[in-house]
Structure 1
Amino acid sequence: MNDTPGWASPGSAPSDGREPDAPGPAGSADRPGPEQSADRPQQPGDAPREPGVKWSKEQPPAGQWSAPAGHTGAGGPAQAPPPPPGGQGRVTPPPGGPGWGAPPPGGQGPYGGWGNGWGGPPPAAKPGVIPLRPLGIGELLDGAVSTMRTYWRTVLGISLTLAVLTEVVVVLLQRFVLKDSSAAVLDDPSATLGELTDALGDLLLSSAVLYGITLIGTVAATALLTTVTSRATLGRSVTTSEAWRDARPQIPRLFGLIILLSLIAAGIIAAGAVPGVLLGLAAGPEVGFGLTLLGIAGAAVVGIWLMVRLSLASPALMLEKQGITKAMRRSSRLVRGSWWRVCGIQALAAIIAYVVAAIVVIPFTFLASAFSGDGVTGLLDASGGNFGWTFLIISGIGSVIGSTITFPITAGVTVLLYIDQRIRREALDLELARAAGIQDHGATGGS
């Protein structure tokens, strides 16, 4: 028996020796009962025993007693009363029962039904490749890769088709349209400033054309893969024919959007270069060269800002079945206030895609140089300054493989970023949860 004031162990006798209803002063706990047992060992603080007095055989039930209010032991301070019967106080849970942080059986835990005590809200529902809540950068990238890995037949089929079509156009342009005479001029130390300006203009034009073709393929991949990615968020698969059937009504508007975005980008660059070009025509190329470069740099900054604002127009057009101008306004509203975040995520996805493509393309480039006949020095065909067919075909195969891998990454990130912005601004996760058949998604803190 523990005689510590204010605490009674289960199964022990009360410390004051009185019946619960028996009258008497509160301080009678130290006085012996009428029949104190002779063989009971002497306890510290007990009153001296009287001969012939025994402990009563009739005791109250165990655990029914508590120390009187203000009771002290050995001159110590007053102690808190023991927990009342019925489990209302802080008692040790029984073996196998719920602990302090666990919810009671069949009921919700504390703090808004979290059920984990101090562990925070439960994880959001994840019926597909992403959890239904605002996403981080890692989750966006992981969602794009998971979509490609889970639905690889559909995703790689679409991206391979677009990569082949894009690369065929690029190879034909490089062979018959785009001349590479700028390399010899830029390496010539005796070239005049006018020749350098013309060579630099040709190089920028070639790069802009090639980038425009790649942009068209990327936007088209984003649009066609939108259906796959949107259904992947719900854990539902889609075939290539189903994705094409869903995207086909929007294809004319999609190409209109691509052409409009390309014209806007070209117009911004041209507007930045025109003052320098006019000044060069009037006062000589030496005067207008610096202003042209400065104007192009400023126009590039404006173009990047505008392209980021309109970067979500393609998934908005495909998923919301809107027109071109409405999709562009929709993208602008979704990006407003989050420009730096959207730009950073898009730039990170582009860098990852570029690194992956370089890992694939560079070996094919050296292989193409080896098979072209002159090794590394045979990157260009000697006749006419054009690319040789051998080099173009082998390097084009590497480009197709690289684009097949990178298209789903950039497209998946763009679509998931559109979904993430709508979750943050419009609580789209609630609609996705209902579409996935998840009940009470918003009530459990999953949003």
Structure 2
Amino acid sequence: MSQEDEHRDSPGTAPEGPERERPSGSGAPAGSGTPDGGGGWSAPGQGPAPGVPGGVSGGAESPGVAGPTAPPGRDTEPERPAQYGWPDAQPGPAAGYGPPAAAPGYAPPGTPPGYGPQGTPPGYGPQGAPPGYGPQGHGYPGRPTAPKPGVVPLRPMTVGDLFNGAFALIRNNPKTTAGLAMIVVAVTSVISAVGFGGTMRDYGVFFDQALNDPASLDPAEPIPVSTWSIITTYGGALLSQAGYILVTGLLTAVVGLAVLGRRLTPGEAWAAIRDRLWTIVGLALIQLLIYFGLTLATALVGIVGVGVGAALLVSGAVEAGIAVIVLALVAVAACVCVFLWIVVRIHFAMPVVVLERVGVFASLARSWRLTRGSWWRVFGIILLTMLLVGLIGGLLTTPFTMGSLALVFLFPVEAWMPVASGALIYVGEVLINAFTTPFVVGVATLLYIDLRMRREGLDLRLHEAARAGHQVGPEVYLPEWRG
């Protein structure tokens, strides 16, 4: 061994001699794999130890910094990347080749200010968390941890995320969500409440007459409801549907921006859809015609098929009659399946009209494309939402309905009974719709956003909008070709 080799330090120890003294803040590059003139050593391909500024001399005073790289001609270990993040998930570097794990308080180079462990925004996990998982459980394998600036994490969502987001929407902004729904429903439900009160009055008179003088009943008029009551009831139902369409448009804009953490006021929600109002109405009418046509076709198939089968049975062709009736029932079931299939495929036309700002038929075509290949998932979530809303709505409406019916039986001919009965139903309808309508619209809009995240990478654009920090509007949802 030469004299030079005798004085060369073995790997893992700092070089001795004057080279060890080095002023702090030297500009020599760290991680070069060679002595930098002051003892700053690192493993091949690695930078300085986490938490240790480049240029600080190695040795016992520098935790996590390995000894010098073997000089040329000696055997060296293959280059190993630094193991930041979850050290237990993968084997660390060999002894003497860099830090085994990230030091506390360290963020990788290039991390924006405020995104390290000390300034982590909601949805971002610390450096020691498993890849793709944050402290709130908002991450998912294969992608970075998703931020959550608003009601949901900005990543493809689970059913729990959709429902939690819809509840958070109401909880975080009740003035705009429940408040808007309550105001619109209160205005549009007046006529239907009056019609219901008139219907209850007619039934009260009928029951009182049936109990006191059954012989006075007219068999030619089996329905004890006046024409005026029928007109007001169904006219009020149409007006209530128009109010529901308006609330749906308003809340769609609210949900779209709540995803990014913005809380729209009722005035801002109105400004967001004001120029889309007639398009929203046109879409609602087209959808209503589609639903009505499908329902009418299903009913006609059932009525005609069963009628023909019954006629064959009466004529003595029993086997043929039974076969026709069975075929008619199968055809009705097929029509119901087609009805549900089409309803699901055009379910997201309203969010498309409001957030993507396209026309009526373009929105229907866009919804059709978004749901391609996702029909069963969308159908299952819609069905679960309807069951949940029906259960909650049924529980909440029971006291009001029972109270209204009790007034009909206890005070059938009193003049104030129709007013009190209609008022009970009116109050119950307003209170219940104030909470169920925002929930249904919230789930539908979040599911639309989820589909775009899965198909178009919308979550990446929302990430950028959230990190930019400036206020954004519904234009963030415009498709690439319109953006």
Shorter-chain TM-score tier: 0.5 to 0.7
Is there any run of 5+ residues in structure 1 with no aligned partner, and where? Answer: 1-17, 23-59, 67-84, 185-194, 200-204, 440-447
Once the two structures are superposed, what CA deviation does each residue of 1:39-70 show, in whole Å capped at 9, x if it has no partner? xxxxxxxxxxxxxxxxxxxxx8997799xxxx
2:422 counterpart residue number: 392
- Relative distance call for 1:170 and 1:94 in structure 2 (3 A) is farther
Tell me the CA shift for residue 434 of structure 1: 2.9
2:389 counterpart residue number: 353
- Relative distance call for 1:232 and 1:107 in structure 2 (3 A) is same
RMSD between superposed Cα atoms in Å:
4.6
Q: Does 1:228 align with 2:217?
A: no
* Of 285-294 and 405-414, the range deviating more from structure 2: 285-294
1:273 counterpart residue number: 299
Tell me the CA shift for residue 163 of structure 1: 2.3
Q: Does 1:161 align with 2:183?
A: yes
2:74 counterpart residue number: none
- Relative distance call for 1:363 and 1:101 in structure 2 (3 A) is farther
Q: Does 1:142 align with 2:164?
A: yes
Q: Distance in 2 between matches of 1:302 and 1:217?
A: 28
Tell me the CA shift for residue 273 of structure 1: 2.0
2:76 counterpart residue number: none
Tell me the CA shift for residue 431 of structure 1: 2.3
SS for the counterpart of 2:108 is coil
Once the two structures are superposed, what CA deviation does each residue of 1:186-225 show, in whole Å capped at 9, x if it has no partner? xxxxxxxxx9xx99xxxxx999999977765544332110
1:443 counterpart residue number: none
Higher gyration radius (CA)? 1
1:23-42 to structure 2, matched below 5 A, reads none
Q: Distance in 2 between matches of 1:254 and 1:124?
A: 33
Matched residue count? 339
Tell me the CA shift for residue 366 of structure 1: 2.1
Q: Does 1:341 align with 2:341?
A: no
Q: Distance in 2 between matches of 1:119 and 1:142?
A: 24
Q: Distance in 2 between matches of 1:216 and 1:347?
A: 23
Tell me the CA shift for residue 404 of structure 1: 0.6
Percent identity over the alignment is 30
- Relative distance call for 1:126 and 1:263 in structure 2 (3 A) is same
Is there any run of 5+ residues in structure 2 with no aligned partner, and where? Answer: 14-38, 45-58, 66-83, 85-98, 111-115, 117-124, 133-143, 208-218, 224-229, 315-320, 470-483
Once the two structures are superposed, what CA deviation does each residue of 1:124-159 show, in whole Å capped at 9, x if it has no partner? 122211221111111111111111111111112211
1:119 counterpart residue number: 130
* Of 144-153 and 274-283, the range deviating more from structure 2: 274-283
Tell me the CA shift for residue 423 of structure 1: 1.2
Contact kept, 8 Å, 2:178 with 2:434, in 1: the verdict is yes
For normalisation by structure 1, the TM-score amounts to 0.62
- Relative distance call for 1:304 and 1:382 in structure 2 (3 A) is farther
1:129 counterpart residue number: 151
Query: Structure 2 counterpart of 1:107, which letter?
Result: P
Contact kept, 8 Å, 1:372 with 1:390, in 2: the verdict is no
1:432 counterpart residue number: 462
Query: Structure 1 counterpart of 2:453, which letter?
Result: I
* Of 246-255 and 427-436, the range deviating more from structure 2: 427-436
SS for the counterpart of 1:436 is helix
2:350 to 300, 310, 314: 314
> Per chain length, whose mean CA-contact separation is higher, i.e. which structure has more relative contact order (CA < 8 Å, sep 6+)?
1
SS for the counterpart of 1:119 is coil
Q: Distance in 2 between matches of 1:141 and 1:244?
A: 25
Contact kept, 8 Å, 1:222 with 1:410, in 2: the verdict is no
1:384-423 to structure 2, matched below 5 A, reads 388-423=418-453
